[in-house]
Amino acid sequence: MKKFVMIHNENLCIGCQACSVACRNENKVPDDVYRLQVHIKMSGTFPHLKSDYTRHSCVMCEDSPCVSVCPTGASFKTENGITLIDDRLCVSCKYCILACPYDARFVDPITKAIGKCTFCYENRLLEGKEPACVSVCPTDALVFGDALDQNSEVSKLIAKKSIEYPKAYLNTKPRLGFIKNTKGGRYE
Amino acid sequence: MAISRRSFLKTSTAIGTLAAFELNLGAKSSLINQSSKLVPSVCEMCSTRCPIEAQVIDGKCNFIQGNPKFNANKTSVCARGGAGLNQLYDPKRIVTPLIRVGQRGENKWREASWKEALELCAKKLDEIKQKYGPQSVVFTSKSGESHTQMTNFACAYGSPNIFSHWSCCPITYNMVLSHTYGSGLSRDYANAKYIVNFGHNLFEGLVISDTKKLAKFASKEDAKLLVLDPRFSGVAAKADEWLPVKPGTDLAFLMALIHVWIRDEKYDKKFIEEYTIGIDEVIKSVKETSPKWQENITGIKAKDVERIADEIWAKAPQVIIDWGHKTTTTKAEYQRTRAIAIANALMGNLEKRGGIFFGKDAKTFNKLCGEELFPTLANPDAAFKIPKTQRIDGCGEEGHKHFFISRKHGVLMDIAPAILSQKPYPIKGWVNTRFNHLINVAGTKDTIKAIKELDFVVSIDVYLNDFSNLADVVLPEATYLERDESIQNKSGTAPGYYMRNKAIEPIAGTKSGYEIFRELARLMKIDQNYTWNTINEYRMIQAKGNDKLVADLIKDGYVNWKVPQVYYREKSYVSKFVEKYSNAAQFVDENGQMSSQIKFKTPSGKIELFLASIEEKLPGEGSLNTNNMDVYGGHEFCLMTGKTAIHTNGHTQSLPILNNLMSFSPLWINTKAAKQKNLKDGDKVILKNEFGEVEATLMLTEGIREDTLFLYHGFGHITPDLTRSNMIGTNQSVILNPADGVVCGTMVTNVGVDIIKA
């Protein structure tokens, strides 16, 4: 069994959207919906500014509201902690979209099934490859791996850095963590 | 959310589902039976040329990532690079030659066979040559292999009027480094302790190997990234200190830095004495340029300059004062970049870890190692010489202000005026490959007027883009994913080569630049200097018959050899190198360095802090001066442009996957400045100056100075075939000053404008 975890280092992320393009091509994501986006938000008053780069995608909760509410069992978790949707069981009732506190699911405009980030489970992980976004990231801002393996890069990163988890107060225990941005402003 | 019994049960059933799911996947796993291959190649979605790997499943390109064999990038690729396959399959791509049937620019075409289209090109070009002479055709291209092949053809045809995109982008640093150090240099971002960055926005104009290193540098706690940029750019957002310098005034800041270092004797005197000439001239030129003096020019406080000068000196030589890439901000750009070159020399950072260094290719390493360990390349194009006849822009010609500019690259802004004025002689034809002159070069209106005067225009492109829309014949080029190309040098700290291999066969028989120009030359019977017929012959001539090198490059895309890195002035690196290559011991001097290997291909054989050769022909430009910094020209605002990570110059705006990420480029204006003028977010405005006017849509932001405006370059197309990008956004080139910068003829992309509410 593995505990797949992804860490997004916001200090290394430059918002270049390479991950987004890779995700779309790898997973054949239709136009106008997305599995993954990186938002860039500038804040402050000139010249005291900062830009935050935040990833929006499924956070792979350990305790997933989307799985809990799914009436048909279409939303489920693999034993490695990855939340997936079995298209054959999905009736597109959209309960999971409402239940997801991370706004990470969408209705596929073509198939009408529910779509979301899968960490590229069937197309890459099963072949022993990293998710597409991790693979292409120009600045290595994304680190992915098995948190149960103490020698994995992701374990070393978790041991070394303070990792924050989105909406931690909901206690959904996300497996997508962030190293928060510390950059910005102007030296005075 | 507490774990409820219900959710626990749900999880267990889910595991049951998983088995079924994987079973289902097993059925889907015809993946295994599909023909799947990885083709190592080279990207061409921008000018960087990153090594890539294209995944091809059943003959269809499915995914692109970096070539993992190239260590500096590994599997990384940017958004544009990843979108290469979307360009390949873009329904808007042209795949059949087109011949104009309506008026120029009317977008009325008929499809033609390659035979007919190439024969028409040959006939028309022959006619022009007979009637007006070969010099009356201009040739433009972006740089790279298409430029090489176009240059061969132009030489064969007999025209000296060859242009690359240099003058509107990287010409300054290329010329300055060669004038000052005798050749190009690399920056050791990975090991530096302090980097001064003048808007070299590697986080939006991506060069992955450098971007990766700079991003990691910026995230270090014991290193400092100082960014000067009037805008809070991607790289400014990652800086330890951001100075919103007034546009065009970096030079004043640099001259103040140099002033402080010299005043306080905080520079590497030993290095300056041993390796340079002209320090006295530098001392003279910065006598008055104190931190106080620059305060009113740059907007940076004198005390900050004093502090920064000390900070940098404390970290020298592990310091990089970055010369950037597209340095086209003022007419004084040559002097700005010269000041950077001089500032680096004063810090003594050459051939030091964390400083700047010479790229070392196979030839250099063979010499160092005392044997032919690494293959070197031959040049199949050696017989092609640029005709010595007069050029329209005077590049390389005695007595002309463009004397120092390469005749291979030229000054793009001089083309339209030469056509319109018929001076120095009439121009009748234009051959272009993959360069969008209307978006990328100042004076768009005159360019359009000029093109309409011509007898014959041919454009080679992937799209019916702005320039192609004004052509008579458009030849659809194969995209880079459908092209085999030549072996290219990819040496950095060690020798290396890479090569573009086609991932799939060209769709609908489109052709590569190698094929198009070769066939045209054959048709016109001007191909006597071609030593090759096909790209495979070309590769084999390059490899001097070393078929293993070619085979390895077909298989791996990138080839290198495990050679320890060497900085000539770092003892520890030198000794490790000698350990591996004992013959190299002969080059080690008594300090344990290899300083004898540092050779400057300058007239004096030293780093030239003063340039006698320039001074002789362009008096006053041999030493640093503070002329021509102004970019406002009496207007209220300076309009700047820059790159976005999503698009490449004027090329990709219409590409669906990238267009969906960024379909528009609004005009950045500071919130306060907008309020003063009673302008709101989303307002349409007219940008106006003596060169023209253009419409823009405002975006209010805190991320820019009050006296500055900013646009992402590449929008404002007038290309009816590309409906996604046609007439959307602002083309800055319409209102740029076509006058160029001193010495290097750079196109200045900072321009003074006034804003009027539309």
Contacts of B647 in chain A (CB under 8 A): none
* Region of residue B716 (left: phi > 0; alpha: psi -120 to 50; beta: else): left
CA dihedral B259, B260, B266, B269 (to 10 degrees): 10
Tokens of B149: 């092949």
User: How remote is the C-alpha of B154 from its chain's centroid?
Assistant: 23
Give the fold, CATH level 3, of A4-179. Answer: Alpha-Beta Plaits (3.30.70)
Greatest Cα pair distance in chain B: 91
Structural domain boundaries of chain A? 4-179
Contacts of A21 in chain B (CB under 8 A): 79, 82-83, 657-658, 661
> Residue A133's closest chain B neighbor by CA?
B76
Interface of B with A in 672-731 (CB under 8 A): 672, 701-706
Residue B445 contacts by C-beta under 8 Å, 6 or more apart in sequence?
Answer: B692, B734
Contact A14 B215 (CB under 8 A): yes
* Shortest distance, CA A119 to any CA of chain B (angstroms): 16
Indicate if B489 and B584 belong to the same structural domain.
no
Rounded alpha-carbon distances, angstroms, from residue B602 to B323, B410, B544 = 19, 22, 30
Indicate if B350 and B227 belong to the same structural domain.
yes
Contact assessment for residue B50 and residue B73, using Cβ atoms and an 8 Å cutoff? yes
Residue B27 contacts by C-beta under 8 Å, 6 or more apart in sequence?
Answer: none
- How confident is the model at residue B205, as a pLDDT? 96
* Helix ranges, B456-545 (H): 466-469, 513-523, 535-542
* Helix ranges, B662-728 (H): 671-676
Which of the four pLDDT bands, split at 50, 70 and 90, describes residue B34? confident
Buried-state track B273-292, b at ≥16 Cβ within 10 A, e below 16: eebbbbbebbeebbeebbbe
What whole-number distance in Å separates Cα of residue B87 and Cα of residue B94? 11
Q: H/E element holding B459?
A: strand B456-461
Contact B63 A17 (CB under 8 A): no
Query: Which of B8, B13, B50, B65 best probes binding to A when mutated, by most A CB atoms within 10 angstroms?
Result: B65
Contact B65 A183 (CB under 8 A): no
* Shortest distance, CA B287 to any CA of chain A (angstroms): 28
Indicate if B553 and B576 belong to the same structural domain.
no
What whole-number distance in Å separates Cα of residue B611 and Cα of residue B340? 15
Tokens of B186: 């690399």
> Which DSSP symbol is given to B584?
G
Contact assessment for residue A40 and residue B645, using Cβ atoms and an 8 Å cutoff? no
Question: Which CATH number belongs to the domain containing residue B444 in this structure?
Answer: 3.40.50.740
> Which DSSP symbol is given to B102?
S
Instruction: Please determine, for residue B494, whether its predicted confidence score (pLDDT) is greater than 80.
Output: yes
Rounded alpha-carbon distances, angstroms, from residue A153 to A121, B563, B663 = 19, 27, 37
Contacts of A79 in chain B (CB under 8 A): 15, 18
- How confident is the model at residue B6, as a pLDDT? 35
What whole-number distance in Å separates Cα of residue B645 and Cα of residue B24? 39
> Which DSSP symbol is given to B153?
H
Would you call the peptide bond into B317 cis, given omega within 30 degrees of 0 as the criterion? Answer: yes
| Single-letter amino acid, residue B570 | E
- How confident is the model at residue B32, as a pLDDT? 52
Contact assessment for residue B121 and residue B429, using Cβ atoms and an 8 Å cutoff? no
Average pLDDT over every residue of B218-245: 97
Q: Whose structure tokens read 């030239």?
A: B608
- How confident is the model at residue B10, as a pLDDT? 36
What whole-number distance in Å separates Cα of residue B241 and Cα of residue B466? 40
Q: Which of A79, A132, A137 sits opposite B18 (nearest CB)?
A: A79
Mean pLDDT by 10 residues, chain A (188 residues): 96 98 97 96 96 97 97 95 95 96 96 96 95 98 97 97 96 97 78
Domain that holds residue B581: 562-609
What whole-number distance in Å separates Cα of residue A118 and Cα of residue A111? 17
The ipTM is: 0.97
**Cα–Cα nearest to A87, from B12, B25, B34, B10:** B25
Contacts of A141 in chain B (CB under 8 A): 215
Upper half-sphere CA count for residue B197 (Cβ side, 13 Å) = 35
Q: How many helices (H) and strands (E) does chain A have?
A: 5, 9
What whole-number distance in Å separates Cα of residue A12 and Cα of residue B697? 31
- Interface contacts A/B by beta carbons within 8 Å: 181
In total, chain B counts a number of residues equal to: 758
Instruction: Please determine, for residue B415, whether its predicted confidence score (pLDDT) is greater than 70.
Output: yes
Indicate if B691 and B715 belong to the same structural domain.
yes
Interface of A with B in 125-154 (CB under 8 A): 126, 132, 135-141
Q: Which of B7, B11, B215 sits opposite A139 (nearest CB)?
A: B215
Over residues B571-601, the pLDDT tens digits come to 999 999 999 999 999 999 999 999 999 999 9
What whole-number distance in Å separates Cα of residue B530 and Cα of residue B383? 8
Contact A42 B703 (CB under 8 A): yes
* Secondary structure (3-state) at B572: helix
Contact B17 A42 (CB under 8 A): no
Average pLDDT over every residue of B649-654: 95
Assess if residue B181 is contained within a domain: no
Q: Which of A137, A172, A184 sits opposite B1 (nearest CB)?
A: A172
- Would you call A83 an interface residue with chain B, using a CB distance cutoff of 8 Å? no
Indicate if B525 and B577 belong to the same structural domain.
no
- Would you call A85 an interface residue with chain B, using a CB distance cutoff of 8 Å? no
Indicate if B597 and B541 belong to the same structural domain.
no
Contact B83 A68 (CB under 8 A): no
Q: Which of B63, B66, B661 sits opposite A26 (nearest CB)?
A: B63
Contact B6 A25 (CB under 8 A): no
Indicate if B217 and B246 belong to the same structural domain.
yes
**Cα–Cα nearest to A31, from B657, B214, B188:** B657
pTM of the full predicted structure? 0.95
- How confident is the model at residue B91, as a pLDDT? 96
Tokens of B495: 């020798």
* Shortest distance, CA A172 to any CA of chain B (angstroms): 6
Q: Whose structure tokens read 């010499």?
A: B367
Indicate if B537 and B418 belong to the same structural domain.
yes
Rounded alpha-carbon distances, angstroms, from residue B65 to A83, B53, B82, B91, B477 = 26, 5, 7, 23, 23
User: How remote is the C-alpha of B475 from its chain's centroid?
Assistant: 24
Using DSSP bridges, classify how beta strands B109-111 and B607-608 pair: parallel, antiparallel or unpaired: unpaired
> Residue B6's closest chain A neighbor by CA?
A68
* Secondary structure (3-state) at B150: helix
What whole-number distance in Å separates Cα of residue B214 and Cα of residue B320? 11
Buried-state track B583-599, b at ≥16 Cβ within 10 A, e below 16: ebeebbeeeebbbebbe
Which of the four pLDDT bands, split at 50, 70 and 90, describes residue B740? very high
- How confident is the model at residue A184, as a pLDDT? 84
- How confident is the model at residue B297, as a pLDDT? 98
* Shortest distance, CA A6 to any CA of chain B (angstroms): 17
> Residue A19's closest chain B neighbor by CA?
B79
Sign (positive or negative) of CA dihedral B7, B9, B11, B13: negative
> Residue A167's closest chain B neighbor by CA?
B1
What whole-number distance in Å separates Cα of residue B376 and Cα of residue B463? 36
Contact A16 B645 (CB under 8 A): yes
| Single-letter amino acid, residue B9 | L
Indicate if B534 and B421 belong to the same structural domain.
yes
* Shortest distance, CA B218 to any CA of chain A (angstroms): 8
* Secondary structure (3-state) at B706: coil
Instruction: Please determine, for residue B7, whether its predicted confidence score (pLDDT) is greater than 90.
Output: no
> Which DSSP symbol is given to B374?
S
Rounded alpha-carbon distances, angstroms, from residue B9 to A67, A68, B5, B6, B12 = 11, 9, 6, 5, 5
What whole-number distance in Å separates Cα of residue B249 and Cα of residue B297? 7
Question: Which CATH number belongs to the domain containing residue B741 in this structure?
Answer: 2.40.40.20
Rounded alpha-carbon distances, angstroms, from residue B163 to B147, B268, B452 = 8, 40, 20
Instruction: Please determine, for residue B2, whether its predicted confidence score (pLDDT) is greater than 60.
Output: no
What whole-number distance in Å separates Cα of residue B531 and Cα of residue B544? 13
- How confident is the model at residue A85, as a pLDDT? 96
Indicate if B578 and B549 belong to the same structural domain.
no
What whole-number distance in Å separates Cα of residue A58 and Cα of residue A36? 8
* Secondary structure (3-state) at A16: coil
Using DSSP bridges, classify how beta strands B667-670 and B708-712 pair: parallel, antiparallel or unpaired: antiparallel
* Secondary structure (3-state) at B576: helix
Question: Which CATH number belongs to the domain containing residue B204 in this structure?
Answer: 3.40.228.10
Would you call the peptide bond into B424 cis, given omega within 30 degrees of 0 as the criterion? Answer: yes
Instruction: Please determine, for residue B5, whether its predicted confidence score (pLDDT) is greater than 50.
Output: no
Over residues B515-560, the pLDDT tens digits come to 999 999 999 999 999 999 999 999 999 999 999 999 999 999 999 9
Q: Which string of DSSP letters, residue by residue, matches B187-218? A: E-GGG-SEEEESS--TTTS--HHHHHHHHHHH
* Shortest distance, CA B729 to any CA of chain A (angstroms): 21
**Cα–Cα nearest to B461, from B451, B448, B473:** B473
Q: In chain B, helix, strand, coil percent, each to 5? A: 35, 15, 45
Instruction: Please determine, for residue B22, whether its predicted confidence score (pLDDT) is greater than 90.
Output: no
* Secondary structure (3-state) at B137: strand
Rounded alpha-carbon distances, angstroms, from residue B447 to B12, B50, B410 = 69, 32, 16
What whole-number distance in Å separates Cα of residue B363 and Cα of residue B370? 11
Contact assessment for residue B391 and residue B407, using Cβ atoms and an 8 Å cutoff? yes
Over residues B267-321, the pLDDT tens digits come to 999 999 999 999 999 999 999 999 999 999 999 999 999 999 999 999 999 999 9
Q: Per the structure, how many domains does chain B have? A: 4
Contact assessment for residue B43 and residue B52, using Cβ atoms and an 8 Å cutoff? yes
- Would you call B50 an interface residue with chain A, using a CB distance cutoff of 8 Å? no
